[in-house]
Structure 1
Amino acid sequence: MTNLIFLLQDTIPAAVADSTAVATTAAPETSVNYFSLLMKGGVMVAPILLLLFFTLYVIIERALYISKASKDSDKLIDEVRMHLTSGKIENAQMAAARAGTASGNILESGISLIGRPLSEIEGMMEKQTNVEIGLMEKKLGWLGLVAGIAPILGFIGTISGVIKIFYTISVTENISIGSISGGLYEKMISSGLGLIVGVVAYSGYHFFNMSIDSFALRVQKAVIKFVNIITVGK
């Protein structure tokens, strides 16, 4: 009995130590360096990153411009009405020019033709509206282009990487899972990155187009108010 106890005392700690060693071996601590992982995506990662930076630049630049140009025109139209009902056409034109917005430019173009036929005034305001909308839509085509190109570049990087993997397998005749999965996950990085850049560009493109559509609707209402002011005085 005493020998059995001594045997258990020697065996149990050894078994615990072995199981701890196995657990440690099975679950090693890993840390992911995302930058180095990104650089493993292949040669297509560099142009996709350039497209990302360009997309962010266009989005920020357009956001600043459109937010400034499309400011609400309700207060401006009220000020213009006040001056026009008082017969101060020059003051109304100065107020519209001082606003520094697209709505101000459109109203100024109409005020400058007061006294001419109504159709001519409306035609000039419509032309100025088209100019202002064109300025807002400037550079948005680049976002649409990036939205289409970035995912394609990512897929090209992935396909070229897969071709390289299978070419290596055909030469070395090493068809192990490790060699395939190790190279494949690296090449999928370019596809993932290209899709992310494409989504960012696509979202920015449609967001700005919706903002411009909303601005165009507000301008149409402002033009109607302006026409009512110069025709019926209210």
Structure 2
Amino acid sequence: SILVKPQKIMAQTLIDKVTTAMSEGDVLKALKACESEPGPLANILVAGFSHVEEGFDIIQEAIGTAADIETERLMQRLNWISVMANIAPMLGLLGTVQGMIMAFEGLATGAPDVGALALAISQALWTTAGGLVVAIPTVTFFYGIRNNANRVILRMQAMTFELIKDLRNVEVVEN
């Protein structure tokens, strides 16, 4: 799926479970909640909760690395749209060049027929138009989807730091 759905990336049930666990000071419960609700936010939180014994700086570093990985995974799902938008005009131009070569080959073999030459050039230009017809809406779609993904990523990062802020002063107590 190319649509970026915040409810899939940041499941509200996960947020609620982790918020409850953190308010109780139960990092293990928060970790188990993440493992029961897989997804990008859960993966990032697991990275942080897994380093709770190493201090807040290490937690933040682990979360940053996990967030980078999840962001890259999300963006990789969108890259094919960008590729399609970039290739379409090139394919159109290739068709135009091929059509122009054929038009001029026809011109070189005999007396110039202006009408036939104009028709061949017109047909060649249609491939460029076709490429642009594909590329323009695809580029627009790509940037819309990418901007939505960036908004979701920023919300996920903000939510992550909100959920782990209580780990600043955590003391590890062994039973």
Verify same fold: TM over 0.5: yes
The one-letter amino acid of 1:102's match is P
- The yes-or-no answer on 1:71 pairing with 2:9 is yes
Structure 1 unmatched runs, 5+: 1-60
1:1-234 paired onto structure 2 within 5 Å: 61-63=1-3, 66-67=4-5, 71-72=9-10, 75-138=13-76, 140-177=78-115, 179-231=116-168
CA deviation digits over 1:126-161, x for unaligned, max 9?
A: 111011011112254444333333212211211221
Are residues 123 and 70 of structure 1, via their aligned partners in 2, closer, same or farther at CA, if it must alter by over 3 Å? Answer: farther
The structure that has the greater radius of gyration is: 1
Alpha-carbon contact 2:21-2:27 (below 8 Å) kept: yes
Structure 2 residue runs without a partner (length 5+): 171-175
* Structure-1-length-normalised TM-score: 0.61
Cα distance in 1 for partners of 2:123, 2:62 equals: 58
Alpha-carbon distance in structure 2 between the residues aligned to 1:73 and 1:218: 12
**Residue 182 (structure 1) shift:** 3.0
**Residues 101 and 88 of structure 1: is their aligned pair in 2 closer, same or farther, counting only changes over 3 Å?**
same
Change over 3 Å in CA distance of 1:125–1:108 after alignment to 2: same
**Residues 160-204 of structure 1 deviation map (CA, whole Å, 9 limit, x = unaligned):** 212322332342314242x23432332222112212232344234
Which residue of structure 1 lines up, in the alignment, with residue 173 of structure 2?
none
CA deviation string 1:3-56 (max 9, x = no partner): xxxxxxxxxxxxxxxxxxxxxxxxxxxxxxxxxxxxxxxxxxxxxxxxxxxxxx
Retained in 2: the 8 A contact 1:76–1:99? yes
| Greater shift in the superposed pair: 68-77 or 187-196 | 68-77
Deviation, structure 1 residue 74 = 5.2
- State the AA in 2 paired with 1:79: K
Percent pairwise identity? 19
Q: CA RMSD in A?
A: 2.7
Residues 69 and 101 in structure 1, CA contact (< 8 A), matched pair in contact too: no
Asked if 2 retains the 8 angstrom alpha-carbon contact of 1:80 and 1:95, the reply is yes
In structure 2, the CA distance between the partners of 1:139 and 1:216, relative to structure 1 (3 Å rule), is: closer
CA shift for structure 1 position 67:
2.9
